[in-house]
């Protein structure tokens, strides 16, 4: 999908550098591309300027950049919640319930 960014360039002399960052979530990568180990994305960008200046020249107003994304197998393995965390949560829940019953009983 395409996104349009509009930003005012208050004052610049001869050149301006525009940088954009993006993220591909690991969950999206695992859901959409489960059978592959890498994906190559083509990022296209173009710049246009609306200005009253008549002698404004844009060099390289559009570009196309390939971005390779590699799946990290060690990060992709989703480990479950450790059993001791579940036991601790159950015990804490029973303790809070017992405390609440005791307070309401009094």
Give the residue, 70 or 31, on which the prediction is more confident. 70
Burial zone of 64 (CB within 10 Å; 0-12 exposed, 13-18 middle, 19+ buried): exposed
What average pLDDT does this structure show over 9-25? 71
What ranges do the domains of the chain cover? 1-78, 79-105
Closest CA to 9 of 20, 1, 18, 22: 18
Number of helices (H) and strands (E) in the chain: give both, helices first.
Answer: 3, 2
**Count of residues for the chain?**
106
Higher pLDDT, 49 or 27: 49
Tens digits of residue pLDDT in 43-57: 888 877 777 777 777
């Amino acid at each position: 999908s395409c996104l349009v960014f509009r930003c005012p360039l208050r004052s610049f002399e001869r050149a301006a550098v525009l940088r954009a960052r993006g993220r591909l979530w690991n969950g999206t990568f695992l859901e959409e591309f489960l059978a592959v180990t890498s994906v190559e994305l083509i990022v296209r960008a173009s710049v246009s300027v609306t200005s009253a200046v008549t002698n404004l020249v844009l060099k390289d107003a559009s570009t196309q950049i390939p971005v390779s994304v590699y799946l990290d197998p060690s990060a992709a393995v989703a480990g479950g919640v450790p059993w001791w965390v579940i036991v601790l949560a159950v015990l804490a829940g029973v303790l809070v319930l017992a405390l609440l019953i005791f307070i309401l009983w009094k």
